[in-house]
Structure 1
Amino acid sequence: MNSSAAPPEASRYRVPQPYDPTAARLLADWCATGAPATLSDHLLRHGPAVPVAPVPDGRTPMPLVEAVERAGLTGRGGAGFPTARKLRAVAERGGRTVVVVNAMESEPASRKDQFLLAVAPHLVLDGAVLAATVVGADTVHVCVPRTRAVQYAQLGAALNDRVRARLDPVRWRLHALPHAYVSSESTSLVSWLNGGPARPQGHPPHTHERGVARRPTLVHNAETLAHLALIARHGPDWFRRAGTPEEPGTTLVTVSGAVSDPGVREAELGTPLATIIDRAGGPAETLRAVLLGGFAGTWLPAENLRVPLARRDLAPLGATWGAGVLVALPRSACGLSETARMLAYLAAHSARQCGPCHFGLPAVAEDFTALAAGRADRDLLSRLHRRTALLPDRGACRHPDGAARLAASALHAFAADVDQHLTHGACAAAHRPTWIPVPPAEPPRTWR
């Protein structure tokens, strides 16, 4: 189902038919109507944002931070940090604080935050207002990439509607930032908002101690804030009806690659990867592997598709659901070629502020390119293993860690292809069209 009124980002995807109504929370309105929710639609369905979670028996409602903690909400931007802990860390600093909505979504394989903001922007903005109420902030900064002019205009219109309705007790500031892979890191946003470059600042103080304008600053991903808005309305017990006891709730997943109906899906945590692929129309071809988590994620062989989308189950495989990306790779593709292109992109988009990014990532990317092309020397494989082992936990940010994880998982998942490329040259699949779109590898010309 498509709506002619749908904004461009929303109209890229059909409403999944059939969809799982138990998993449709953030996307419930979209699944029901196929149209983006205006402010009037949003208020009609949800009412205004409330600062505390309701209770059914008339007792005093619990504070929002306690409700979020009991709900077990974790960040949906990739790191999975407990949301209540971040709220408390800023609130306990006292004084004038700041809230930043991180809608940068610099992961090239992800569209979930763009899609959520296109179809349900006011859930995200409600969550930001509620977070500001909790931590005592009077200003909310909303950060989007300057390369997405349509998204910027849509959000600007949504914010203008709220201002005209005199809905919120905060000042809104909408910003368009340089779009690089590391510009979505929280300290990158704070640096840019303070007049510096949109690059990670790998040194204390932490943003919750001193961030924008030297004030304690809460930075939250767009999807995280939308979940917070629903917890405030429906309470922690409602939130826990989906997901697993250890990892409750739902999450948005961008499903792409060799599937019949690619797009953004909402799934309960604990849903098997194979089920999520089936909800995207099923495999378009026999699958070789899936990439979970995006460019900083992990390759998993197809025999792991029954594993649940949950950190507890993915950890033994060295994987995490990260930024909510699931890419299906068919048997007709070359996983080494796909990985080489992603590593070249990651190397070009590093901040080049420390040794692992300045020297390590380009070296790993060059070796992987040679491996994918069948030009490997006899020492290449041992060199790749050594270099990927040296990258994690040494950078000013986690950028080199993600690249190392991607490279190491590819060497494991495509071990038979590695042997083929080392001994007989590149396989035939290496010369076929690629399945994972990779943006131009050139870094932004300016970080301001």
Structure 2
Amino acid sequence: MTTGTAAPHAVRLLAGYHALGRPAELRDHLAQYGPPPTTTGASLVQAVEEAGLTGRGGGGFPTGRKLRSVAAGRRPAVVVVNAAEGEPASAKDRALLTVAPHLVLDGAALAAGAVGAREIVVCVHAEPDPGEGAEAGARRGRTRTLADTVRRAVAERERARPAPVPMRVTAVLPRYVASEETSLVRWIDTGDARPSFAPRPFERGVGGRPTLVSNAETFAHIALIARYGPAWFRSCGSEEAPGTALFTVSGAVARPGVVEAPLGTPVGEVLRLAGGPSEPLQAVLAGGYGGTWLPPELLALPTTPSAFKAAGLALGPGILVALPERACGVAESARVLAWLAAETAGQCGPCVHGLPAIAADFAELASCRVSTELYRRLDRRLAVIPGRGACRHPDGAVRFAASALRVFGRHLRVHTRAEGCLLARWPSILPIPEEW
């Protein structure tokens, strides 16, 4: 995927880096930003609070409040950089760590100083070893994994000036639920990347210590706030949702990739930053596979949590997939739900029983076996699952399924005809990860 930017005043995280054509080395980073900022400790926590930064991983929790909670812990803390993107349609953290790894690592180091952490762990998804063989390497088109890139950046920093808080990189199993924050804590402690019912990490995380878990983009914003201050950060975006955000835009757009835009930018404008629709659109998936479908008439919707919530939608981790009119949204949704059902941790009823049942119902819809009883069964299942799992995975799957029924309701009439849905025969649009 390519990286793109909005107007110059909105280019912050990607400023100067997209033109390098390679991962930024420490010398590039220092030439762009100079030495590490002096805003640290309690003053950093206050600056982040005043800036109004919220987590960019999908939850939208106030980052300053999270920093303050971890700093108040009685034991030395841990900082975890969550760059293990579980959403198949997301590539923003990979893009950011590829072009600007030191901006993320700066933010992690600053946060560690602010909360009294003694360890920083950067979590990325595991990838096949480039040395596994020429055939496999050519097939996957990779010469260096993301973990390699981040480890190289960490080593650069150590050679230049040993950090007061050690950093290490760990490659997490590439499963959807493995990037959930309690999954990461369990992975670091035990090597088992499954969500848990344990207290939230800021209370008791890695090794039982207070743990700050935020995604890579959030830490990069912390690094910029420390340099330029909360007023600068708020000069872009909206009052409710200040700053910029990275969006992964794919599907039927001219230039699929990662773009940067101020929060509050209308959905349609974010699509235009990726070249705009390449063909007429049927819908846009916002927030990834735990998100919601929105119809074309909502392209003017501002990208703020409150605007999306008011419309019954979820903004999530900055994912927009443009679905063309030639695609079958019901068939696309059925494929995603089958994959989500297979990606569960297998440890609680909503995932073990509920999601496979919903996926089976959608498979019937997609194959044009529609009945009144099928709709009634789906309604019952979608109503009882939310809020009952160990993590939010089943909630997101239900949200995705319910939005598909709303947005593709008119198209579902085609699935009741004897000849079935001809659009379902087109190649799929939404990506489903391959096993490796």
TM beyond 0.5: yes
CA contact (8 A) 1:375 1:425 kept: no
Secondary structure (helix, strand or coil) at the match of 2:288 reads coil
CA contact (8 A) 2:151 2:168 kept: no
Cα deviation 1:236-265 (Å, max 9, x = unaligned): 000001100011000000000000111000
Structure 1 position 261 matched with structure 2 position 241: no
Residue correspondence of structure 1 range 293-332 to structure 2 within 5 A: 293-332=287-326
Select which of 191, 206, 217 maps to 1:212.
206
- Tell me the distance in 2 between the aligned counterparts of 1:167 and 1:276: 40
Structure 1 position 136 matched with structure 2 position 116: yes
Seen in structure 2, the aligned counterparts of structure 1 residues 97 and 111 have a Cα distance that, compared at 3 Å, is same
CA contact (8 A) 2:249 2:319 kept: yes
Residue correspondence of structure 1 range 41-80 to structure 2 within 5 A: 41-52=28-39, 63-80=43-60
Q: Give the aligned partner of residue 101 of structure 2.
A: 121
Measured after TM superposition, the shift of residue 386 of structure 1 is: 1.7
Seen in structure 2, the aligned counterparts of structure 1 residues 318 and 219 have a Cα distance that, compared at 3 Å, is same
Secondary structure (helix, strand or coil) at the match of 1:394 reads coil
Measured after TM superposition, the shift of residue 300 of structure 1 is: 0.4
How many residues align? The count is: 421
Seen in structure 2, the aligned counterparts of structure 1 residues 346 and 287 have a Cα distance that, compared at 3 Å, is same
Q: Give the aligned partner of residue 379 of structure 1.
A: 373
Residue correspondence of structure 1 range 150-229 to structure 2 within 5 A: 150-202=145-197, 204-229=198-223
Q: Give the aligned partner of residue 56 of structure 1.
A: none
Measured after TM superposition, the shift of residue 29 of structure 1 is: 1.6
Structure 1 position 245 matched with structure 2 position 246: no
- Tell me the distance in 2 between the aligned counterparts of 1:320 and 1:78: 9
Structure 1 position 287 matched with structure 2 position 281: yes
Q: Which moved more, 1:401-410 or 1:307-316?
A: 307-316
AA of the residue aligned to 2:296: A
Query: Which blocks of at least 5 consecutive residues in structure 2 are unaligned?
Result: 130-144
Secondary structure (helix, strand or coil) at the match of 1:98 reads strand
AA of the residue aligned to 2:166: R
Measured after TM superposition, the shift of residue 196 of structure 1 is: 4.4
- Tell me the distance in 2 between the aligned counterparts of 1:77 and 1:62: 24
- Tell me the distance in 1 between the aligned counterparts of 2:381 and 2:420: 22
Q: 4+ runs of 1 displaced by more than 6 Å?
A: none
Structure 1 position 278 matched with structure 2 position 272: yes
Structure 1 position 92 matched with structure 2 position 54: no
Q: Give the aligned partner of residue 145 of structure 1.
A: 125
- Tell me the distance in 1 between the aligned counterparts of 2:93 and 2:128: 12
- Tell me the distance in 1 between the aligned counterparts of 2:419 and 2:207: 55
Measured after TM superposition, the shift of residue 205 of structure 1 is: 2.5
CA contact (8 A) 1:91 1:136 kept: yes
Sequence identity (%): 54
AA of the residue aligned to 2:89: A
CA contact (8 A) 2:242 2:263 kept: yes
CA contact (8 A) 1:310 1:320 kept: no
Secondary structure (helix, strand or coil) at the match of 2:9 reads coil
CA contact (8 A) 1:372 1:426 kept: no
AA of the residue aligned to 1:252: L
Q: Give the aligned partner of residue 57 of structure 1.
A: none
AA of the residue aligned to 1:190: V
Structure 1 position 36 matched with structure 2 position 16: no
CA contact (8 A) 2:6 2:261 kept: no
